[in-house]
Amino acid sequence: MVLLSASFFAALVAIAVATQAERSAYVIHERRDTPARGFVKVGLAPSSHELTLRISLKPNNIAGLEKELYAVSDPKSERYGKHLTLDEVVKYVKPTSEALSAVNSWLDVNKITAKIISPAGDTLQFNVPVSKANSILNAEFSSFTHSDTKETAIRTLQYSLPADLSPHVAYVHPTTSFTNPFVTPKIEPFNINGKREIDPSCADLTTLECLLEETGIPKRSATQKNNVLGISGFSNQFAHQSDLKDFLAKYRPEMSSSAKFDLQFVDGGSNTQVRDFAGVEASLDMQYAVGLSGGVPLRFISVGPLNDDKASSFLDQVNALIADNSRPTVLSTSYGFNEQDLTLPVAEGLCNAYMQLGALGTSVLTSSGERGVGGNSWFCDTFLPTAPSSCPWVTSVGASQTILENYTKNNFSEVAASFSAGGFSNYFKAPAYQEADVSSYVASINGQYEGRYNKAGRGIPDVSAQGVNFVTLVSNEWNLASGTSASTPVFAAVVAHLNAELIAAGKRPLGFLNPFLYSAAGRAALNDVSAGNNPGCDTSGFNATVGWDPVTGLGTPNYVKLRKAVGLV
Ligand SMILES: *[C@@H]1O[C@H](CO)[C@@H](O)[C@H](O)[C@H]1NC(C)=O
Ligand SMILES: *[C@@H]1O[C@H](CO)[C@@H](O)[C@H](O)[C@H]1NC(C)=O
Ligand SMILES: *[C@@H]1O[C@H](CO)[C@@H](O)[C@H](O)[C@H]1NC(C)=O
């Protein structure tokens, strides 16, 4: 028998302690038990597969930026309309020097070169093979297949960071967030020359003329060249110029048939003009945005496929606009996902980017979702709020429709469109501007749906607009499209016209809208929708009521009243 010396044992113990110390120097940063619904793990990710990861550092003073946002967006504030400059915004968002040195030394130790991809320098991106990502993050990157699309996402259910770095980091992405495919608007083919059985009035079909009359949007042409309405395009949705031209020829022949839009590309975006490739969402959004906001310059902002991950695509778009001196004054986004697909830090990071855009003076409108209290999902137990709609710094838009009975163009009633998604965020609490509305709505339903939603959450939508049966030309074929996808560009066009008038009068554009919309003057300028509901998750959903409700928000736009409410005479 060989006797082992005491010093040999001491050495073994020392090695064990060192390994222990190294391990304990890592702390779990984010974890989840299972992938998001719809995804199935199929195995470990190939170790040589190259990942593009981003690490986002915490902003140094986001509470300070929130205060600034309110100061420039609340009509009661002295500084209303005095939007921040990019330098002023960056001061609040940039990471601390401790955070930067912690992340740089971690990158150095691991021989990683990263590039900064956000204006405030808070997000860094680098490429590493799966094997290295697993070792530097104590992760297990695996392949997950989506059951409908069969697309593969490489994710990990858990990752760790060194204990001295973790407190400075918001998230590493894509790791534990999963995004389901976008839900597109509902469409049916429409025979434009045929005779429809049902009443061909505006109560059945929605055309530009109906919307102009019902909202009161002026027909005269806006004159401000620097007041741009931006329309988001994701997911290979292309807007076709010829479809737009033919659409306008039919429904707004007085508008120049050369009405065009500009393009901005992010992450390898494009706007192919092969007519067969036009997308329903892009066609619907652009045709109604151009047709309603005659004269306001339009920009189609196409985000391309360089990120296979939707949360990154959204963030890259917002960051590109933050950095852009000629950024739109209004951004309309008719795409979204379920909030729970994202982890809280990723949802918060995206929301912080919208906060920056709001502080800079851009109004952001996002669709609330297409499946009632199910958000964008048919299958749900608890109700599913949608992102980025649930971010308190965007204006979430639901949908309504006119009632057929007794319809006349200047005296019509609206009810909620049954698909209009609405509910309460599980991540963001009700912000100051709507706290009272949320608590009184929750009190009014008397314990109904207890446990299915977060009673203190930010409520969506904020407002609504008509969203049913929009006549739309897609790849030279007429369709009827319905969704909050349709209502969002309508509300955005209203805001773009208000901005055009404000700028022409020497005033500032509206910027972040919600403190104004929820003010007494704002709500009085909206048509309250108090009938209908938004079924989903095998329930009848919430009811629209007098005042704010999680179906149609505060109501639909009345241009004539809104222009007075924003101080135009
Ligand atoms: C339509 O008009 C009739 C007759 O005036 C009235 O009884 C009915 O309530 C009206 N319907 C609606 C939805 O207003
Ligand atoms: C609008 O229609 C309603 C319901 O049919 C009717 O009661 C009301 O008097 C009408 N209002 C106007 C201004 O015509
Ligand atoms: C919602 O509306 C339906 C139909 O009007 C009604 O039966 C139900 O009681 C309402 N729910 C609540 C919570 O008020």
Triad 346, 156, 382: Cα angle to 5° = 60
Question: Which CATH entry fits the domain spanning 189-429+461-565: 3.90.1200.10, 3.90.550.10, 3.40.630.30, 3.40.50.200?
Answer: 3.40.50.200
Number of the ligand closest to the Cα of 443: 3
Q: Name the phi and psi angles at 277, rounded to 5.
A: -95, 0
pLDDT tens column, 361-400: 999 999 999 999 999 998 899 999 999 999 999 999 999 9
Tokens of 368: 């609330």
Q: Rounded to the nearest whole angstrom, what is the distance from the C-alpha of residue 406 to the centroid of ligand 1?
A: 6
User: What is the sign of the dihedral through the CA atoms of 28, 29, 32 and 37?
Assistant: negative
What does the H/E/C string look like for 268-309?
CCCCCCCHHHECHHHHHHHHHHHHHCCCCCEEEEEECCCCCC
pLDDT tens column, 542-562: 999 999 999 999 999 999 999
Closest CA to 229 of 109, 310, 331: 331
Mean pLDDT value across residues 491-515: 97
Cβ–ligand 3 contact at 456 (below 6 Å)? no
Q: pLDDT confidence of 567, banded at 50, 70, 90?
A: very high
Active-site option among 143, 485, 487, 530: 485
Cβ–ligand 1 contact at 148 (below 6 Å)? no
Q: Among 125-139, 205-219, 460-474, whose mean pLDDT is lowest?
A: 205-219
The confidence score (pLDDT) of residue 291 equals 95
pLDDT tens column, 77-124: 999 999 999 999 999 999 999 999 999 999 999 999 999 999 999 999
Ligand 3: nearest atom to the Cα of 446: 13
Annotated ligand binding at 547? The verdict is: yes
Which residue's CA is minimally distant from atom 13 of ligand 3? 445
Annotated ligand binding at 483? The verdict is: no
Give yes or no: 487 in active site: no
Tokens of 438: 């949320």
pLDDT tens column, 2-59: 444 444 444 444 444 444 444 449 999 999 999 988 999 999 999 999 999 999 999 9
Q: Rounded to the nearest whole angstrom, what is the distance from the C-alpha of residue 222 to the centroid of ligand 1?
A: 38
Cis ω on the peptide bond leading into residue 388 (within 30° of 0)?
yes
Give yes or no: 281 in active site: yes
pLDDT tens column, 236-249: 899 999 999 999 99
Cis ω on the peptide bond leading into residue 174 (within 30° of 0)?
yes
pLDDT tens column, 269-290: 999 998 888 899 999 999 999 9
Distance CA 379, CA 538 (A): 9
Instruction: Tell me the CA distances in angstroms from 352 to 281, 422, 435, one per residue in order.
Output: 26, 22, 20
Beta strands in 25-91 (DSSP E): 26-31, 39-44, 50-57
Distance CA 497, CA 297 (A): 11
Please indicate whether residue 569 or residue 448 has the higher confidence score (pLDDT): 448
Annotated ligand binding at 528? The verdict is: yes
**pTM (predicted TM-score):** 0.93
Distance CA 57, CA 77 (A): 31
In the chain, what are the domain boundaries? 25-59+94-173, 189-429+461-565
Mean pLDDT value across residues 265-272: 94
Q: Which residues line ligand 2 (CB under 6 A)?
A: 406, 411
Annotated ligand binding at 549? The verdict is: yes
pLDDT tens column, 311-365: 999 999 999 999 999 999 999 999 999 999 999 999 999 999 999 999 999 999 9
HSE-CB at 464 with a 13 A cutoff on CA atoms is 39
The confidence score (pLDDT) of residue 184 equals 85
User: What is the sign of the dihedral through the CA atoms of 242, 248, 249 and 253?
Assistant: negative
pLDDT tens column, 143-162: 999 998 899 999 999 999 99
Mean pLDDT of all residues belonging to the chain: 92
Closest CA to 286 of 500, 492, 502: 492
Is the confidence at residue 201, as pLDDT, over 80? no
Is the confidence at residue 410, as pLDDT, over 80? no
Mean pLDDT value across residues 427-448: 98
Active-site option among 66, 204, 281, 341: 281
The confidence score (pLDDT) of residue 196 equals 57
Closest CA to 186 of 288, 281, 290: 281
Q: Name the phi and psi angles at 39, rounded to 5.
A: -110, 140
DSSP letter for each residue of 452-492: SS-TTEEEE-SEEEE-S-EEEEETTEEEEEESHHHHHHHHH
Give yes or no: 118 in active site: no
